[in-house]
């Protein structure tokens, strides 16, 4: 059971941690680091750093998985010294979380150049040799990481990318300055504060009661089908976005929908994927594929989907030269939606 400390007693630190659950103290600690630059600098002294190069995380290969090396501040300072770099570069790091023991975790990109520190991009091969690891594109590495590491690296990459793309104020054109944690940037001339953003995206698995509708874009790997996805338009509710995307992409009218879960998705930019199941009436299932958005869409039976979920080697070409039908990997929320449908194909009851 979690105990809640009703009064936020501000004695030694920002909050009184004594009576709170581990989760709450951790959350409050992270909040303090985001709000208080001095506290965050202090946390760096005992913290752990994850390294990136041009948004690719540093990983070490073990037998079947990638491992995530972390460095202390002292180790990082030593490394920068060896590579002939100023330790001021550590100021570009961003806070990405902390352990239950309050060891703060930071991410630092040594390949990106920052407008204010004027630091030069470090050479990748030189660093890889020194660190005995490789900077691997996140898209390639994500599915060979455990869930916790994958989520940590997705957050880190999204935050590093956001800072890289928001170095200037869109009103004054002046360089913006990040706080120590990297939870915001401020324009020194007009005090406008910029916060990291995610784009909301709806992802919908449409069912007619016995089959589910899956689609593919030409950019997907060969043979892979997924649920319908689309960015929310400004001003739309979640329900309206689902209805519009399904109508736009396959020409069907959704009758009922049911929220399932959500996921942060770092590609190509930061999105908040909001996953739903939706139903269409069994009498109105004729698909009209919007070829400007999709390469193909089709209804799949329960058995076909069960078979596809079991497929381990999707990239193997079949004898007739085509690729087998397969589904997104476990880590993608599309996979979870499809798995839920396989386990319970009947459709839920919220009106769209
Ligand atoms: N994690 C998962 O399981 C899955 C994630 N996704 C992600 O969902 C996202 C959206 O899916 P799509 O079918 O591509 O969306 P979509 O159906 O909305 O089409 C993309 C188009 O929407 C427009 N657009 C509107 N707002 C945009 C914004 N904020 N950023 C970029 N483009 C915007 C652009 O013209 C773009 O070409 C993709 O980024 C994809 O990576 C898609 C399927 C599965
Ligand atoms: Mg789409």
Backbone angles phi, psi at 300, to 5 degrees: -125, 140
Pairing between strand 199-207 and 296-301? unpaired
Q: Tell which atom from ligand 1 comes closest to the C-alpha of 245.
A: 17
Q: Ligand 1: which of 154, 229, 244, 274 to mutate, most ligand atoms within 8 Å of CB?
A: 229
CATH number for the domain formed by residue range(s) 199-343: 3.90.79.10
Domain with CATH 3.90.79.10 in the chain: 199-343
Cα(55) to centroid(ligand 2), Å: 25
Q: How many CB atoms lie within 10 A of CB 18?
A: 10
Dihedral sign, CA of 70, 76, 78, 80? positive
Query: Tell me: the pLDDT tens digits for 280-316?
Result: 998 999 999 999 999 999 999 999 999 999 886 666 7
Any bridge partners for residue 175, and if so which? 168
Tokens 């739309």: give the residue. 236
Cα(323) to centroid(ligand 2), Å: 22
Query: Tell me: the pLDDT tens digits for 15-68?
Result: 455 567 899 999 999 999 999 999 999 999 999 999 999 999 999 988 878 999
* Ligand 1 pocket member 203 (CB < 6 A): yes
| Angstrom distance (rounded) from CA 271 to CA 155 | 11
| Angstrom distance (rounded) from CA 293 to CA 250 | 9
Structure-block tokens of residue 322: 């085509």
**Angstrom distances, CA of residue 307 to CA of 150, 320, 327:** 26, 19, 10
Architecture of domain 47-194: Alpha-Beta Complex (3.90)
Q: Is 288 exposed, middle or buried (0-12, 13-18, 19+ CB in 10 A)?
A: exposed
Residue 107 has a pLDDT of 98
Pair 51, 110: CB distance under 8 Å: yes
* Ligand 1 pocket member 241 (CB < 6 A): no
| Angstrom distance (rounded) from CA 332 to CA 330 | 6
Cα(252) to centroid(ligand 2), Å: 14
Write out residues in the chain with pLDDT < 70, as ranges: 1-19, 115-122, 312-315, 346-352
Q: What is the ipTM of this complex?
A: 0.95
* Ligand 1 pocket member 291 (CB < 6 A): no
């Amino acid at each position: 059971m979690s105990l809640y400390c009703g009064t936020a007693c501000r004695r030694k630190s920002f909050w009184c941690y004594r009576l709170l659950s581990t989760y709450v103290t951790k959350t409050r600690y992270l909040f303090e680091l985001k709000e208080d630059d001095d506290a965050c600098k202090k946390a760096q002294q005992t913290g752990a750093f994850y390294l990136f190069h041009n948004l690719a995380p540093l990983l070490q290969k073990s037998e079947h998985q990638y491992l995530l090396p972390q460095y202390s501040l002292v180790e990082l300072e030593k490394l920068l010294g060896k590579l002939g770099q100023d330790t001021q570069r550590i100021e570009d790091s961003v806070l990405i979380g902390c352990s239950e023991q309050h060891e703060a975790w930071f991410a630092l990109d040594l390949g990106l150049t920052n407008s204010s520190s004027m630091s030069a991009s470090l050479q990748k091969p030189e660093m890889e040799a020194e660190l005995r690891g490789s900077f691997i594109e996140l898209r390639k590495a994500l599915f060979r990481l455990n869930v916790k590491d994958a989520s940590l690296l997705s957050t880190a990459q999204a935050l590093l990318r956001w800072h890289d793309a928001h170095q200037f104020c869109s009103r004054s054109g002046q360089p913006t300055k990040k706080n120590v944690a990297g939870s915001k940037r401020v324009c020194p001339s007009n005090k406008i504060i910029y916060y990291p953003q995610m784009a909301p995206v709806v992802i919908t698995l449409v069912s007619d009661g016995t089959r589910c509708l899956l689609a593919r874009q030409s950019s997907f790997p060969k043979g892979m089908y997924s649920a319908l996805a689309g960015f929310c338009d400004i001003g739309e509710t979640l329900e309206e976005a689902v209805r519009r995307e399904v109508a736009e992409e396959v020409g069907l009218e959704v009758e009922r929908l049911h929220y399932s879960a959500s996921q942060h998705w770092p590609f190509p930019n930061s999105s908040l994927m909001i996953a739903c199941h939706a139903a269409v009436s069994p009498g109105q299932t004729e698909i009209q594929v919007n070829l400007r958005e999709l390469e193909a869409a089709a209804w799949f039976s329960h058995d076909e989907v069960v078979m596809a979920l079991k497929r381990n080697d999707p990239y193997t070409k079949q004898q007739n030269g085509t690729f087998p039908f397969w589904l997104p990997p476990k880590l993608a929320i599309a996979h979870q939606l499809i798995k839920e449908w396989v386990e319970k194909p009947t459709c839920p009851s919220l009106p769209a």
